[in-house]
Amino acid sequence: MPIESSSPAPYESDLAYIQDRHFSQFAKQSTAQIVGSLKQSPVPVVTVTDIGCGAGASTRALIEAGFQVIAVEPSAALLKVARAKAPGANFVQATAYDVELPPCDAVLALGEPLTYHAPGSDAVSALRGFFRTAHSALSPKGLLTFDLIVSGRECLALKTWSTGDDWALLVQVTEDHESSRLTREITTFRRRGATYRRRQERHSIRVFHEREITAMLEACGFDVEVDSRYGSVELLPRRRAFFATRGPCRSRART
């Protein structure tokens, strides 16, 4: 079949379509684990801010669990899908680094939304600023939960592909240890009538040191725990989940 090609901005309609159909399982599973923790929190959790809500799987799970949800997502295409999936949420189109966080009891950033930083940007300062903003927005003993890619010996460079009934996805990941960056070159093919439309995106990902993140959180006044899973949901290699509670205590790392 003929192929139509174009190069849109990150997470435009075709990649958002594939994200919703093929990559929502992690959000569903991890949010289910986190909902249990929020329900058992010694301090009542009413309002949750869902940073980088993507196609809305996590937002929908939070709404169905009875929380009031503010969902934040920079991609207009993903936001359109999320609005349809979780109409009970309040949606904001913004990145984690330019949104004005409202007062809330918990902030979630699942699936590495805090890792997206353009080359040449000061990712550490941006992340530190986000932690400060989250600390100010959270209620006493409020919870900040997120996951990041951290530095390590295992190389994350790879080439992979996935297919569906009306789409295909090719991904090539390269890693530059010197600059602490991953680059994802993503090519999508989506059936449009008798043709397949090809689109390409490049995502720049910042890799952080685990201890650096913990130190930043502590400096902002969080008590921190680190894990390689959300409950029974194991994270991918070199991912870490951070569980930060608004308070002055020192960190505790779980093995």
Query: How do residues 161-183 score in pLDDT, each as one tens digit?
Result: 999 999 999 999 999 999 999 99
* Rounded distance between C-alpha atoms, residue 182 and residue 173, angstroms: 7
Shared domain for 84 and 189, answered yes or no, is: no
Shared domain for 140 and 232, answered yes or no, is: yes
pTM (2 d.p.): 0.92
Shared domain for 196 and 110, answered yes or no, is: no
* Rounded distance between C-alpha atoms, residue 253 and residue 182, angstroms: 26
Structural domain count of the chain: 2
> pLDDT band at 248, cuts 50/70/90?
low
Shared domain for 75 and 14, answered yes or no, is: yes
Shared domain for 68 and 145, answered yes or no, is: yes
Q: Which of 37, 77, 35, 33 minimizes the C-alpha distance to 56?
A: 77
Its domain, for residue 181, covers 154-205
> pLDDT band at 10, cuts 50/70/90?
confident
Q: Which of 142, 141, 70, 121 minimizes the C-alpha distance to 99?
A: 70
Shared domain for 71 and 165, answered yes or no, is: no
- Helices 76-85/13-22 angle, 10° precision: 40
Q: Domain containing 12 — which CATH number?
A: 3.40.50.150
Structure tokens of 199? Answer: 């689109």
